[in-house]
């Protein structure tokens, strides 16, 4: 089992270009696994963790409803936003400046074969990261992602998650709101959930801006501890 994970910092990158890049890495891992089984080999498969910040974009998962996008094509142009139907689970979400987006492209057979555990570890990574800022974050039963004040009228989501997995290889991932313009969430029904709000780390801390590099460093630290993996940069 290869527990080394290559970290790739993509900076600010178009959503579609990043999706294509993910698909390429994903397919190479899948192809290696198919070849291993066909030829009865045990050549190692690669693992990657991508960090990126996207321009304004709305993405709709396989189980989502287009009615949860509240903008038409002309309004999207006015907002300087794009829209894609994509192949992850979940409903609609927003990505944009000030958001730390992470895409783990892992062969889970290098770690464990349990998608439920995989999602819970991603949530735990975010919960532990936010705890370092003095914020008590938690899970909301039946709703993937990370939330604040669950079970109260003030429940609000700070991190969305949606993944795809095939042959135990993952893609897509998580989006943590750090310095996000939350007005862009007004144009969708986030994750198809109508009665809950969305928040961002800078708002919770009462700061104009939180250092994104510090947030990513904390996320990486907890990610590698939880997955008991070795980082390659």
Catalytic residue list contains 159: no
Q: Does 90 count as an annotated binding residue? A: yes
Q: Does 88 count as an annotated binding residue? A: yes
Please name every residue paired with 152 in a beta bridge, in sequence order, or none if there are none: none
Q: Does 174 count as an annotated binding residue? A: yes
Q: Does 156 count as an annotated binding residue? A: no
Q: Does 173 count as an annotated binding residue? A: yes
Rounded to whole angstroms, what are the CA distances from 221 to 18, 66, 68?
23, 36, 35
Q: Does 81 count as an annotated binding residue? A: no
Helices (H), 39-134: 73-78, 115-131
Q: Does 151 count as an annotated binding residue? A: no
Q: Which one from 25, 191, 198, 229 is the annotated catalytic residue?
A: 191
Helices (H), the chain: 15-38, 73-78, 115-131, 201-205, 212-226
Q: Does 93 count as an annotated binding residue? A: yes
Burial label, 122 (beta-carbon count in 10 A; 0-12, 13-18, 19+): buried
Q: Does 145 count as an annotated binding residue? A: no
Look up residue 180 and give its DSSP letter.
-
CB atoms within 10 A of CB 186: 11
Among all residues, which ones are annotated catalytic?
191
Residues of each annotated binding site: 88-95, 160-162, 173-175
Residues of each annotated binding site for substrate: 88-95, 160-162, 173-175
């Amino acid at each position: 089992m290869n527990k080394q994970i290559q970290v790739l910092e993509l900076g600010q990158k178009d959503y579609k270009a990043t999706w294509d890049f993910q698909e390429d890495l994903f397919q190479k891992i899948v192809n290696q696994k198919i070849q291993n089984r066909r030829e009865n080999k045990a050549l190692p498969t690669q693992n990657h963790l991508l960090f990126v910040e996207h321009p304004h974009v709305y993405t709709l998962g396989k189980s989502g409803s287009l009615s949860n996008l509240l903008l038409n094509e002309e309004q999207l142009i006015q907002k300087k936003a794009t829209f894609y139907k994509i192949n992850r689970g979940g409903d609609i979400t927003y990505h944009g400046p000030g958001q730390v987006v992470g895409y783990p492209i892992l062969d889970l057979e290098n770690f464990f074969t349990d998608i439920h555990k995989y999602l819970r570890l991603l949530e735990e990574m975010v919960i532990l990261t936010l705890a370092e800022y003095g914020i008590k974050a938690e899970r909301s039963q039946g709703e993937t992602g990370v939330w604040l004040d669950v079970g109260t009228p003030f429940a609000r989501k700070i991190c969305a998650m949606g993944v795809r997995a095939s042959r135990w290889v993952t893609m897509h991932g998580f989006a943590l709101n750090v310095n996000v313009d939350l007005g862009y969430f007004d144009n969708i029904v986030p994750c198809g959930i109508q009665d809950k709000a969305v928040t961002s780390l800078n708002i919770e801390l009462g700061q104009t801006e939180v250092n994104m590099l510090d947030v990513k460093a904390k996320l990486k630290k907890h990610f590698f501890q939880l997955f008991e993996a070795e980082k390659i940069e």
